[in-house]
Amino acid sequence: MVFSITRGNFVTHSTKKLEDKYLKQTKLGEGAVGTVFLSKHKETNDIRAIKYIPKSSIKHPERLKNEVSTLVSCDHPHIIKIFEIIEDRKNLYLIMEQCKGGELFDYILNNKTIQEAEAAMLFRQIMLAINYLHSKNIVHRDLKPENLMFSDGKTLKLIDFGIAKALKPNETMSTRAGTPFYMSPEILKGFYNISTDIWSAGVILYIMLCGYPPFYAESDAEVFKKVLIGNFSFRGHEWRQVSNRAKDLIRNMLIVNTDLRFTASQVLEHPWLQNLNPSVPFPLSAPDATTFTTSNLLRRVFLFCIASHTSEESFPQAKEAFLSLDQDMTGCLSIFSLQENLALQFSNENPDDLKKFVLAMDLNNNGKVEYTEFIAGALENTMFSKQEKVVQAFSVFDKQGKGKIVPEDLQRLFEKPNKKNLPFYQKIFKEANCINNAGISLEEFFAIVTANGVGS
């Protein structure tokens, strides 16, 4: 049986009372649909951003489903993380990671323009997020500086998947959607695909470097006229100090003909965006890697769950190491290249051990190490001093609060209810020496994740 595990498996959906779990703090902002509040998770003191979506405002339930399923399927350092979904009679609540640094929009406004070196660092992050989405055939459709948030002083996260859409191969769209300044000519004409995001990103880059949009007019209709023609200039005095490389990149993004417009990976290969990726070493010692490698599947699944529910400020180095290892910039590491890179970095270690370590990280055996798989592998010994994190992960498995985890809990998280593969999950328990039918208590769970006495 193929065991599919992604961080989406651990995004729980429940009908608990939001106030029992989260303490509402400040209002962050109001979007087209819903309001975002900063809240504190009572058990762990984690600060989260929670989007309140009134059910009464949901005219198109399938669109909301789109937003949620897109968010849940994403696992990338530059895309906002969703942790949990709660629903009550009035609202739907999306519990997401906190972005402390505010919108890119305000950052540009406060600084008027952004220096080229910094703009390149930030724009590369934006393009990494877009390249990841496009590699999954997801179009965001509302790229603009308001939808890019700083999670810290230098890291951007793409937010608002309200009109994002996962496309079938060769599918095109015809709904006019987005924000006028950033809308592509083809979206206005009503026949478009993922390349519309590249146009919007080109507009963002233009604005970052000069402080005003390339297609500007007093009314939306006038803006649309200019966009359709696609003429823009670098004549303002702001452009005098800007390099030809930066201008060349913009020229290759703001091309009306979508066949000639750069793709996300071409943008990332452009000379203006080279040599910006710091080389950060993998943050794990050899003994810790060995503990992970020799752990049974159950323990690795538990670690993955903890990684799924942890804010990345808890593992800044692991995040940077992931980005520096992502050499093809797809947001997903091939086990091959990861094995090679780790062998270079740990030249004193046995290459076979490193290979086994990477295979152990690839929980779902798909030949790739996704962001959260990587974090789980690098988690060793850093998280477990925080007992609340372990309790939080336990409750993801033990949804009804029965005080123990049984094979059926794994099945519920990994499969649609109609499938019957219980023996598979029982086997995972057995291999972890949990044959006791009473299930795994919190105490035992703690012992397993901290590797006290397991590792068979």
Q: Which spans of this chain sit near ligand PIT (rule: CB under 6 A)?
A: 28-29, 31, 36, 49, 51, 67, 71, 80, 96, 98-99, 149, 159-162
Phi and psi at 106, nearest 5°, equal: -70, -30
**CA-CA distance, 277 to 403, in Å (whole number)?**
45
CB of 85 to ligand PIT, least distance (A): 11
The smaller minimum CB distance to ligand PIT, of residues 41 and 51, is found at 51
Q: Is 223 strand, coil or helix?
A: helix
User: Residue 161 or residue 429: which is nearer to ligand PIT going by CB?
Assistant: 161
Contact 119, 249 (CB under 8 A): no
CB of 163 to ligand PIT, least distance (A): 9
User: How far, in Å, CA of 359 to CA of 283, rounded?
Assistant: 18
The residue (of 11 and 301) whose beta carbon lies closer to ligand PIT is 11
Residue at 418: amino acid letter: N
Residue whose structure tokens are 């270079």: 344
Shortest Å, Cβ 23 to ligand PIT: 16
Is position 142 annotated as part of the catalytic site?
yes
CB of 70 to ligand PIT, least distance (A): 8
- Between 73 and 334, whose beta carbon lies closer to ligand PIT? 73
How far apart are the C-alpha atoms of 164 and 282, rounded to whole Å? 33
Nearer to ligand PIT, 99 or 321 (CB): 99
Dist CA 31 CA 35 (whole Å)? 6
* 412/344 Cα distance (integer angstroms): 40
Which residue is nearest to ligand PIT, using beta carbons?
49
Minimum CB distance to ligand PIT smaller for 31 or for 211: 31
Q: How many whole angstroms separate alpha carbon 17 and alpha carbon 231? A: 53
Min dist CB 150 to ligand PIT, Å, is 10
User: CA-based Rg of the chain, rounded to a whole angstrom?
Assistant: 23
Alpha carbon 205 to its chain's center: 21
**Are the C-beta atoms of residues 83 and 61 closer than 8 Å to each other?**
no
How far is residue 325 CA from its own chain's centroid? 17
Question: Which residue out of 75, 142, 160, 409 is catalytically annotated?
Answer: 142
Shortest gap between Cβ of 219 and ligand PIT (angstroms)? 27
Catalytic site positions: 142
